Amino acid sequence: MTPYSELGKEELLKLKEELTLQYEDAKGKGLKLDMSRGKPAPAQLDMTMPMMDIFTSHADMKDEQGVDTRNYGCLEGIYGARRLLGEMLGVDPEHVIVFGTASLNVMYDSISRSYTHGVMGSTPWCKLDKVKFLCPAPGYDRHFGITEHFGIEMITIPMTAEGPDMDLVEEYVKDPAVKGIWCVPMYTNPLGITYSENVCKRMADLNPAAEDFRIYWDNAYCVHHLYDEEEKQDHLPEMLSMCKVNGKENMILEFASTSKISFAGAGISCIAASKDNLDWVKKSMTVQIISHDKINQLRHVRFFKDLNGIKEHMKKHAAIMRPKFELVLDVLEKELGGLGIGTWTKPLGGYFISFDTMEGCAKAVYQKCKDAGVTLTTVGATYPYKKDPHDTNIRIAPSFPSMEELKQCAELFALCVKLASVEKLLE
């Protein structure tokens, strides 16, 4: 494979001609495929359908503590659900509040509460001239969407192979206007990497100038390994206790849900945090809601039983996800390996592969894929304000299409990367 950068103008022109023919041919196939969002495939959702058989009209609807899940009460969620999600995150049930069917709105509420009422007695952010957030990027577009919605200034923190650039994070938190950092610490969206022990240690030992600074630790992919073998799984330290050791247990709010374990948007979600933080959360919760859907919580508890149940279930997810990731990675290697026109991550879990094109090519690749019938995540979305400074990053979400569709998507994607790169080099 000759890297494209070593080709002369004549060779590039010839290559462009060949690739354009292939592209026109692909366009003619009339594809209509979607690789834009990390949605579980129908086969993955089918695996959780037996959960629907748990309740008949004669079912015992009381939980293990005798709480009638059909009625109001139990604001923090039933104990079994707090235990289940606590086990998943490695924290005690006392440190967990279970919410509704998904976690993004729990994160939204946390920001909203801080904005209108302040964090544990501190000045509400709406009364401050400036509120800033650290946004490791590429990152999760919907996190950035929440902070943008509240007019919070977002500061891009570059990601390294180990997690966010901690030198920068440590520097920025000296500014009292910096109130938080978004983190997806495990199999991060979209890079698929897991924060190293060193990054976690430094994160847990931050000295923010703002007393209301919080680490928004969105552990959405904490059990989402692609491989069953331990040595092929990433490991993440438990952060609540890490912060506690440093006397900073109030600095972290951890979020999670079973959206990509049971049903997307119809699972159970939680916050894990210190007692002080949970008391602060409950203050507004008591105004917001009388109780969440405890029937759904009980259904989840009876279905999964414990962490082992979740792990076994996740192995079934992995059996579906693994070949999809491997297929995409194989196509990328076969089609683009050695050409010097792109780099990509090889995650051991999560939902995404992150691809970087040559500088200034991502938008062109996106458009070419779109014109040929394959929708990718909107380019730029993985950065604050939807602005990728170098126009390089593309998030690939292999979960939803079938294997056959995915092969078509991946091949078309590689073709578009080649064509866009040649065009760039000829500019």
- Half-sphere exposure (Cβ direction) of 66: Cα atoms closer than 13 Å: 0
252-279 burial, b if ≥16 CB within 10 A, otherwise e?
bbbbbbbbbbbbbebbbbbbbbbeebbe
* Of the candidates 26, 7, 35, 22, the residue with the CA atom closest to the CA atom of residue 378: 35
Please, are residues 128 and 177 in contact by the beta-carbon 8 Å criterion?
yes
Please, are residues 152 and 131 in contact by the beta-carbon 8 Å criterion?
yes
Q: Tokens at residue 383, please?
A: 């950065």
Q: Using CB under 6 A, pick the residue from 36, 147, 250, 257 that binds ligand PLP.
A: 257
Q: Using CB under 6 A, pick the residue from 84, 98, 102, 183 that binds ligand PLP.
A: 102
The answer to whether residue 242 forms part of the interface with ligand PLP (CB under 6 A) is: no
Q: Tokens at residue 283, please?
A: 């203050």
Listed in sequence order, the residues at least 6 apart from 265 whose beta carbon sits closer than 8 Å to its beta carbon are 101, 102, 259
Nearer to ligand PLP, 146 or 417 (CB): 146
Q: Using CB under 6 A, pick the residue from 154, 159, 220, 348 that binds ligand PLP.
A: 220
CA distance 154 to 152: 6
Nearer to ligand PLP, 157 or 420 (CB): 157
The answer to whether residue 184 forms part of the interface with ligand PLP (CB under 6 A) is: yes
Q: Using CB under 6 A, pick the residue from 147, 196, 262, 269 that binds ligand PLP.
A: 269
Stretch that binds ligand PLP, among 89-97, 100-108, 151-159, 331-339 (CB under 6 A): 100-108
* Of the candidates 193, 260, 209, the residue with the CA atom closest to the CA atom of residue 47: 260
The answer to whether residue 144 forms part of the interface with ligand PLP (CB under 6 A) is: no
Stretch that binds ligand PLP, among 44-52, 63-71, 97-105, 282-290 (CB under 6 A): 97-105
The answer to whether residue 140 forms part of the interface with ligand PLP (CB under 6 A) is: yes
Q: Using CB under 6 A, pick the residue from 265, 337, 338, 389 that binds ligand PLP.
A: 265
Q: Using CB under 6 A, pick the residue from 189, 357, 408, 421 that binds ligand PLP.
A: 189
CA angle, residues 352, 357, 358, in degrees to nearest 5: 160
How far apart are CB 257 and ligand PLP at their closest, in Å? 3
Stretch that binds ligand PLP, among 19-27, 59-67, 98-106, 123-131 (CB under 6 A): 98-106
How far apart are CB 379 and ligand PLP at their closest, in Å? 18
The answer to whether residue 259 forms part of the interface with ligand PLP (CB under 6 A) is: yes
Per-residue binder mask for ligand PLP (CB under 6 A), 10-39, x = binder: ----------------------------x-
How far apart are CB 344 and ligand PLP at their closest, in Å? 18
Extended beta strands in 184-242, E state: 214-218
Angle between helices 141-149 and 104-117 (to 10 degrees): 20
Q: Using CB under 6 A, pick the residue from 218, 234, 254, 388 that binds ligand PLP.
A: 218
Which amino acid, residue 260?
K
Identify how many contiguous H helices and E strands the chain contains and give both numbers: 13, 13
The answer to whether residue 296 forms part of the interface with ligand PLP (CB under 6 A) is: no
Strands of the sheet with 342-344, listed across from one edge: 342-344, 353-357, 393-396
The answer to whether residue 408 forms part of the interface with ligand PLP (CB under 6 A) is: no
Q: Tokens at residue 6, please?
A: 């070593």
Per CB under 6 A, residues contacting ligand PLP are 38, 102-104, 140, 184, 189, 218, 220, 257, 259, 264-265, 269
